[in-house]
Structure formats: structure tokens, C-alpha cells
A and B are shown apart, each in its own frame.
Chain A
Amino acid sequence: MSKILIDIGSTYFKVSQDEGIAQYFRNFERNIYDDFQSRCGDLLSRYAKEDVHICSSANGGLSTLIIGLTHSFSLKYATNIAYNAGINIIDTVLYSHIHEYTPPQEQIDVVIIVGGIDGVKNIFDDTLLDYLKQINFHNIVYVGSDKSHSFMQENLENILILDNIINPKLQVRGEELKNFLTNLYQQDITGKEDIKHLYEFTSNQIYSTPYIVNRSMGMMHKTFEVADPFILIDIGGATTDIHYSRDLVVDNIVSESEYDRLVFKKLGVFKSRDSLVFSAKNNEFVYELLEFLNVTENILEEHSDNATKILMQLSIFLVLYKTSLHHNLYINLQLEKLNSIIFTGGITKVLQFEEVEMIVKFFCKKLLHFHQIPSLIIDDEYKIWTLGIKGSSHVS
């Protein structure tokens, strides 16, 4: 029998069978399991559990705080590894100046402490412990010099110690931390009560959607007319993810993965609408962009179809802005080298090609000073997700 592929998003369920893809808008009055059962229960009863493949992006994204010894090595390496694992960086703290940093007030999913090659002694002291006392975190992991292992174990309850991410030649060695973070991210998504119950429908592993989409990056040329280097922007209800070719990154880090990804936890148009609006209002270019779109800032307070369209257009701009050289908090991509941009996710059901094109033109003209734009591809049939989840169904 054929397979059924399901994506649990924060706003829509997508169901792919041989006949095509159907999507169902979430009923937020109900929990995910009940909602899903009522809409797709009958359908699923026709499939064996091993033929059901599920991925989920509902409420996705973990936050991390990284404390490291230097910007050029420990912080840079840990930040890169965290991004590759789909984690959001809340802040990076330079340990020598830790007293100058205000501890974040929000809950941190994982704190990463890093510094020194193996053999370097006396890096961390009580200053670290005093700072950590002011932070509310779920997990803490140490990936620095082996000489600080006992200090960490003696003073920090539940600290997990992994291999140093800096090898003896001062190069990055991130596999163990990356696996830990990827698993944590995976657990966060699939460990949520609602999602756990979905194992009643499948005997296969439930994956995170960004992982599934990232899998399809290498196969993109088979389905789309895409030119390297390219980026893929997945704008959904709760998160906005960007998947990019490593050709667009300038750093001295050698990575095995050809394509990395970055998850913006707070740039969704439904579940994280407020933070998207906040982010937009604080952007220096957004008012000019709104004028360009022939609307006023009042649109940001409205709840209409037109407002949703504008918010989606703003998400496109913000995600490009946040990965450009104009913004240093996230990864800096050489967007001027871009040849193609692929859009997927809920955005493709709301925006027309011309509406996406307008924003990209504005961005290229305003920030890159280009009059030409990369080729745009709108994946309005969720082919990318299907490509990725089919890939995962072959391996599981």
C-alpha cells in the first residue's frame, strides 16, 4: 500500500497521499491530537502504522545562551553549531566581560559554556556561577577545555559534558554538540504532549519539519529550476526558517553539511504575530517598505486578510534583512551572490508571485543596491516538504 505523509504545523495540517496534498486549517479550540483525529482519523485508519510518516513544526525552536572565551573561536564555533542544529541564539556572552552583560529574563532552553583547547587550565571561576544563578534555564552543557570538567561537575548540577568543540589545532569539532542540540530540538518538538500522542498513528519516528525541509535541499535541482547558490525561505504560522547553501557564508569553518538552516522562532504570522510586529516596528527600513506597499503602519494592528498578506511580506523582508550584512546578530550571508530564492510554507498559499517579487525587489534595491533580483520560485504545492519526507521515509 502507498504511504501517507503528514506535516503538523502550528497553523495547518498538511496531508500528502498519492492523490495529492490536502491541507486543513487548525482548530485552535482543540489540542493537536483531537483536532487531527477529528479531521484525519478516518483517513488514517486506512493506512498501516508503518506507512504513516509524520513531521511537525508546531511550536518549534529552542533558545540558547552561549558563554565563551573569545569571539573569534569559542563563541563563533558554538554559535555556528547551534545555528546548524536549528537553535535560536538569545545572546552570546564574552566570559572576560561577563559582569557587563544583563542576564536574559526569559527562559533559556539550553546554556552552552565553551572555552579553551584541551589542557588549558583555570578558565572559569565563581564569576560564571554567579552569573548562571541569575538565569532560568532547562539544560546546560559544557564543551570547553577538559581541565575545567571537574569545576563544572562540582559546581553545576545536571551539567552535561561533551567533547571540546575546539580541537587541539584550534579548529572546530562540532559533531557531538550538534547531535546533542539536534536531538534536543527534536525532543522538544516530538516530546510535546500533543505530538507524543501522534505515535498512536505511526510506528515511524516523528521528525521536525525544518529537518525534513533541510534534507530536500540537495535534491532541489531535480524538482525546480534553481541556480546555485540559493536560499529557501519557509514562512509558517509560528516560525520562519531559512535554509541556505554554505557557499553564501564567509567563515573559516569547515563543515560537512552543504546546507545549513536557521530558525527564527518569533517571525511567524499567526502564533508569533506579536513578536513579528514588534520586530517590524523596530526595523529602520520597515516604514519605507510600508509606504512602498501603499499602506500605513495601522495595518500592523489590523486582523484582516490584507494585514496577513502585509505581515507575510514583512517576514520576507525581515528574514533577508536579519541574514544580511546589515544585521550582525545572526549569520551573515553574502546575499549579493544569490541566484535563486525558493519560498515555501503557508506563505505560498497567501501571497501571489508579484507580491513576493515586490519585496525582494525592495530588499535588493535598498540593501544590496541591485536593480536585478535573483530568480524566485514559489513552492505552492509543498513539493519541497514532500521531497524531504519521502527521503526520510526511505531511510526509516
Chain B
Amino acid sequence: MKVVTGVVGNDIHVVANRLIDISLQERGFTVFNLGVNTYLEEFIDAVIETDADVLLVSSLNGEAEGWCRDLGILKSKFDLSGVVFMIGGNLSVGEVSTEEIIPKFQNYGFDLVSHQSDLNEGLDELEALLKERL
């Protein structure tokens, strides 16, 4: 399965990005890593060019709320119905509870939201969802 990944917005957490890339490859995914400082439009475009099954956006500096709120608009412009949209990392600035964060990002159009949780747990969730969809 093909996964497009990268760090959204003005965020340069390259180590986390690399760890996600390696972990995904270890699990057998074909990874297209767009790296840090990536705009949402580029993520969507990469999904289209590669016909990816999953878009996994990461954000570590807590600014994902600002960068991802147009996901719904972008999704509506293309037929991306078969794609799993996932976001993970540190998704807020300051103290905000996971219960508050998850619905917000689901509302933006993400199928899976992983806030301040372990990377492997998040990827387990992703694999479970993909299995379910098959």
C-alpha cells in the first residue's frame, strides 16, 4: 500500500518525520515522504500523482489546526473517496484535551487522529482501519 507523509506547515521536525518514514517502511508500506514544511495542497497533489491509499500528515509544533482546516475543501475538489486521511503528533498549542482535539480534526476531514500518542500505537490503528476497509 502507498502512503504519502510529511510534516505540515512551517514545521521542521525532521527527526519525527524520518521516524515515521522508517516505521511505515518497516510495516511494508511504500512511502512517499514529502519532508518538512509541506503545504496541505502538496499533500493532496502527491496523493493524486501516486494514487496513494493513505495520507499521513504529521505536526509537531502544534500549528496543525491552522494548516489543516481547508482539508474538506481540497478533498471536495477531487475524487479521493478511497483514501484514508490520518493526522498525528502534537496537534495543539497549550493544554487541550484529546477528547477536544479528535472531533475537531475529524471535522476537518481526517479519518484517524492521533494526538500525543505513541507512534506505533497510531500506526496500529491505521493498519486496523485499512484492514477493516478491505
Q: Write the residues of chain A forming the contact surface with B, with a CB cutoff of 8 angstroms.
A: 69-74, 96, 115-117, 119-121, 166, 169-170
Contact = CB atoms under 8 A, between A and B. Distances in A.
Interface in B18-67: 32, 34, 41-42, 44-46, 48-51
4 closest residue pairs by CB, A with B = A70-B45, A72-B45, A120-B51, A72-B42
B17 to A, nearest CB: 15
Given A96-B77, A169-B32, A170-B32, A71 B49 contact: no
26 contacts: A69-B45, A69-B49, A70-B45, A70-B48, A70-B49, A71-B41, A71-B45, A72-B41, A72-B45, A72-B46, A73-B49, A74-B49, A96-B78, A116-B49, A116-B50, A116-B51, A120-B49, A120-B50, A120-B51, A166-B49, A169-B32, A170-B32, A170-B34, A170-B46, A170-B49, A170-B50
Given A70-B48, A116-B50, 13 more contacts: A69-B45, A69-B48, A70-B45, A70-B46, A72-B41, A72-B42, A72-B45, A72-B46, A73-B45, A96-B77, A116-B49, A117-B50, A120-B51
Contacts of B51: 116, 119-121
Contacts of A73: 45-46, 49
Nearest to A123: B51
Interface centre among B42, B46, B48, B78 (most CB of A within 10 A): B48
Nearest to A171: B32
Contacts of B50: 116-117, 120, 170
B4 to A, nearest CB: 8
A383 to B, nearest CB: 42
Contacts of B78: 96
B41 A117 contact: no
Q: Is the interface of A mostly helix, strand, loop or mixed?
A: loop
Nearest to A96: B78
A85 B77 CA distance: 33
A72 B78 CA distance: 15
Interface residues of B, number: 13
B21 to A, nearest CB: 12
Contacts of A96: 48, 77-78
Given A71-B41, A72-B41, A72-B42, A117 B49 contact: yes
A69 to B, nearest CB: 6
Contacts of A169: 32
A74 B45 CA distance: 9
Contacts of B32: 169-170
Contacts of B45: 69-73
Most B C-beta atoms less than 10 A away, residue of A69, A96, A169, A170:
A170
Contacts of B44: 70
Interface string B110-131: 0000000000000000000000
Contacts of B41: 71-72
Contacts of A121: 51
Interface string B75-100: 00110000000000000000000000
A172 to B, nearest CB: 12
A143 B49 CA distance: 13
A117 to B, nearest CB: 5
A96 B78 CA distance: 7
Nearest to B77: A96
B98 to A, nearest CB: 32
Nearest to B37: A252
Contacts of B77: 96
Nearest to A119: B51
A197 B108 CA distance: 65
B16 to A, nearest CB: 20
A72 B44 CA distance: 9
A69 B44 CA distance: 11
A71 to B, nearest CB: 6
Contacts of A72: 41-42, 45-46
A389 to B, nearest CB: 41
Contacts of B49: 69-70, 73-74, 115-117, 120, 166, 170
B83 to A, nearest CB: 13
Contacts of B34: 170
A115 B45 CA distance: 11
A169 B34 CA distance: 10
A116 B51 CA distance: 8
A172 B32 CA distance: 14
Contacts of A170: 32, 34, 46, 49-50
B40 to A, nearest CB: 11
Contacts of A120: 49-51
